[in-house]
Chain A
Amino acid sequence: MKRTKNTKIKDVVGGHLQYGWIYSNKVKEHFFKPKNFLERDARPGEFDVEGQVGSPQCGDVMRMWMKVDKKTEKIKKLKWRTFGCASAIASTSMFSVMVTQKGGMTIENALKIKPQDIMKRLEGLPSRKVHCSVLCDKAFQQVANNYFRQTGQHSRIIVEGSKIIDTRLNITERDIEQAVLDGARNLIDVQKKLKVGVGDPKAIPQIEQLIKFYNEKYYS
């Protein structure tokens, strides 16, 4: 095969679509040498909580593990695994750096990180790739919610963008979907996954209906 000259191209802009395509050096750095990903399986007690969003069908799955300083609520450790393209991997890697550097952010502050903040640190993302980093803060929200649930701080659970099913325990449609994706098949499974007892009795028929819906959606 002939040698082709390596010409330096700064960015290529898709003719009719008008967006950049080539990833920034920062994205490449975090893609080729990702930081804080969980290489081996987690040891029992190594983390306080974990969470996952996405599904391999849609092309991106992110899972995060978190260790928290219970007193200060500062994030001691945030490890992750990602199935996805370069920007999904790079944005999760960058996010993990952002929340753990300088002694760690508090959960409260980490929840304030917006996709735009991650993108800025990554020196930009091609516009069609923005959803990848959006998924990254969603994954963290899931982790934080699981932490709040575990520590009984139900009022702190963030429910934006999803319908609340159980008003007492702030369980959303998304939570139920996620529990089903994690293997829950019935109400008891879901309650175990979400670490809740029976909350709002009026919500149970609706929860069961959703469990059935998502089970059919993903497993039938």
Chain B
Amino acid sequence: MDKDDTLTLAAGRAAAQAAAETMTGAQMVVRALKDQGVTHIFGYPGGAVLPIYDALFKVEGITHVLVRHEQGAAHAAEGYARSTGKPGVVLVTSGPGATNAVTGLTDALMDSVPLVVLTGQVPTHLIGTDAFQECDTVGITRPCTKHNWLVKNVSELARVLHEAFEIATTGRPGPVVVDIPKDVQFQSGPYHGPQAIHHRTWRPRTDPDTASIVKLVEMMAGAKRPVIYTGGGIINSGPEASKLLRELVDVTGFPITSTLMGLGAFPASRPEWLGMLGMHGTWEANHVMHDCDLMINIGARFDDRCTGKVSAFSPGSKKIHIDIDASQINKIVRVDLGIISDATKALREILRFWRLQKHQVQSEALKAWWHQIDQWRAKKSLSYRYSDQIIKPQYAIDRLYALTRDFKDVFITTEVGQHQMWAAQRFKFEQPNRWMTSGGLGTMGYGLPAAVGVQMAHPGALVIDIAGEASVQMTMQEMSTAMQYDLPIKIFILNNEYMGMVRQWQEILHGGRYSHSYSEALPDFVKMAEAFGCVGLFADKPSELDGKIKEMLAVKKPVLFDVRVDPAENCYPMIPSGAAHNEMLLSPDEGGDISDAGKMLV
């Protein structure tokens, strides 16, 4: 920060100090939310947050969405945040309210989603006495938040609330928790606006170092077999990053792949797009990663789902890693050039220096590289055997994709498992912020509440949760939330009666002993949908699928569509655990022995 900034800040502080208004802690919460531009909060009331709920009563400009379980509130806020780029806000009570939100907090931490979670706490004089609905919320949430606070004094509340938004949204985004005891909500104190608040130490670095960018463009100019490998960092950086990424591919013609979290940053319809990489990535994406001579990682973190066996990961390449979080660089894979930067800023500088220094790509080498890539593509690694007897899950997703092309804006959320991978492989995204899935934590039950959050933010859009019948039952009760707020979300269940990914691994690794992965007593999803007041649909023949999908899309209410799919279908291609990118299996016929070390991996 330079001196002028400091002066302006000091002046701002002084002005705000003078203008400080007195109000109760509960009123401060509502006021701070308004001053932060919050229009939606996802919550569930309880004893320790009643003063805040009282302050929210009939307040204008903030819509409160009453969920059916606090985990749902956190995932809905994640869906809201990831589809808008704004922080998601959650309000829950003490004790079980806070502990129920923990899965959502961890999910948001793993996937870098900005959440501000406000929890009620028992009054300060009862803290530590095992009071009713007391839990050590800051203790429990410390490892699953970017930062958290227990506010014991109302005079600190305004500062903490504004700092909470600053920390959740700047640098690498993430969830924060502000724990507010009930007596603090009742007490009166001075309120300061956000312009007066700036955290003492939090100064995330977001500008790339110029010398490194110069080196990077030189490496690009020398590359014969380059690949751009992008992740959720591009999405989190905002839509500008996706625009610049397209420009980078325009000027270089480099092939590009992405992690699960980064889908949509680059249009899937463009020829440079290789598809997703990793355990269930395409043959071409993984072979390009393995054989490249230059890897440019922008906003991805060399997750184990993407790298496969680390010691055999892309053995012949120079590696560049651009990440806003310094701790990600050299964490899993040693790189030749690490750049700590926001993706937008880094991309802008890369393009500027590429043009300024009039660099050219190695066009002959690149042509040969594309020739090789075309051969890998010819494997058509996402193909499957169609059946006219039984609905193949891949076919169901292909039809869903085809029949939603006329909609202006389509948002997809997913649960976790085989259906998630099929959706990631086959649903083609052209824009960022349209794909909401639980990547890092792999939270079954994420998709339905996330769809609620997305639809809240985008009332006119088509929002579909591509689900599995096992996952969706984990947060099924949020159907009721969808009804209450007239959210016409579509829950498209690929029902194979199994926890499909568990079954697939049991088949491959545990001799086909399907221990407790079959659901023997599934509900009648159609009747269940009707019980919630939603519309239930059912299909088990390929011939009826199109008609039923059209019916689902035409209904202006929440729909639960029970699509009965082939229970034996496995998700391919697949890098078996402990194997390298060039050791992919294309189909079950290939077998493929998994080492004992591989079996130990998850």
A in complex with B: no
Interface residues of chain B, those whose CB is within 8 Å of chain A, are: none
Binding site for B on A (CB under 8 A): none
